[in-house]
Copies of this chain bind each other. A is one copy, B any other.
Amino acid sequence: MIIGKVVGSVVSTRKNENLIGNKFMIVEPAHKTGTGNIVAVDNIGAGIGEFVLVATGSAARIGCNMASSPVDAAIVGIIDDGSELK
List A residues at the B interface (Cβ < 8 Å).
1-3, 7-8, 10-16, 18-19, 24, 26, 28-29, 31-40, 43-45, 53, 55-64, 67-74, 76-80, 83-86
Contacts and interface: CB of A to CB of B under 8 A. Distances in A.
Copies in the complex: 5
A26 B86 contact: yes
Contacts of A79: 10-12
A35 to B, nearest CB: 5
A7 B64 CA distance: 28
A78 B12 contact: yes
B86 A12 contact: no
A37 B71 contact: no
Given A14-B78, A18-B63, A53-B24, A38 B68 contact: no
